[in-house]
Amino acid sequence: MSTKSHACILTSYHIFFHFIVHNLSPTSLTMAITPPFSSSLHVFLLWILLLSSGHILSDCARVFTIINDCDETIWPAITPGDSFGGGGYALRAKESKVHTAPVGWSGRIWGRTKCNFDSNGNGTCLTGRCGSSLQCSASGATPSTLAEFTLTTQDWYDVSLVDGFNLPMSVRPVNGKGNCSIAGCVGDLRQNCPPELSIKAGGKVVACRSACDVFNTDEYCCRGVYGNPVTCQPTYYSKKFKSACPTSYSYAYDDPTSIFTCSGADYTITFCASKNRPQCSYHNNKLGCSGSTIGFSKNSVLALMLLFLPLL
């Protein structure tokens, strides 16, 4: 068992007993701590009460479900990647992987395309490469679509096109509290990339560079006299990015409609997401699809308690 998992379990037990002591009446508490407290029914009902409080594990870890909804293999890259398979791996079309990251993790996730790695994990990618390694320890090459996270009591997350675009990407919080909006885009900017920003391979546009990357001017890069939100304004190119991906960062100071917060959520990161296809992931052992959840409400908890009360 990892140190992080052990810490989460200890946190859960602490919350469990704190919940019992502070939420049960003296009579109920006396009944709970005397035989047959150890019966499975008692434990089951008490854990339902605790689960209804919505705090188990949410304060020490987040579950990330990474889905490849593209029609080809991609190679997700994550930095820092200790909690994410070492920082990179192959993910075939329609496959997914689940990871757990501790609160306090701050990093980025992106996708790499058209990669070729040998058995030692050495190779290269057409877009998004991080040097010559399968497992990334540094940022990827531009252009690449980035999902960025800072996990705290209140998580911060966004999808950024500031470094360009190579894959459609969305971030969907599951069962969180707060704003918890979906970030990213389901449209493919490569299909409408201005020719001067396009990167082509085999006669097809495989990525769309940022105007800063192409022209390297202060205006496009939001630096120098343009290095503040007052003087750095949307440009022709950032507006095209924003039109295709309205909940993504299109330039450095595109904060109001691009950065989101959520508390106690798990996250589904989908490459090549579809508007019409629900995405599902797990949060505290409850299945959530497209923002809906299957779990216990407070009313259902009370109903279960009343149903089983005669059996106690």
DSSP string, 282-295: EETTEEEETTEE-S
**Per-residue pLDDT for 18 more than 70?**
no
Q: How confident is the model at residue 89 (pLDDT cuts 50, 70, 90)?
A: very high
pLDDT on residue 186: 84
**Per-residue pLDDT for 67 more than 60?**
yes
Q: Which domains does the chain have, with CATH numbers?
A: 3-56+294-311 (no CATH), 61-283 (2.60.110.10)
- Listed range (9-23, 135-149, 199-213) with the worst mean pLDDT: 9-23
Side-chain-facing half-sphere of 151: CA atoms under 13 Å = 24
Identify the CA nearest to 182 among candidates 68, 273, 62.
273
Number of H helices, E strands in the chain: 7, 17
pLDDT on residue 60: 81
pLDDT on residue 242: 94
**Per-residue pLDDT for 184 more than 90?**
yes
Helix (H) or strand (E) holding 211: helix 211-215
Q: Give dist(CA 57, CA 30) in Å, integer.
A: 27
Please indicate, yes or no, whether the overall pTM of this predicted structure exceeds 0.75. Answer: no
Strands 146-150 and 155-160: antiparallel
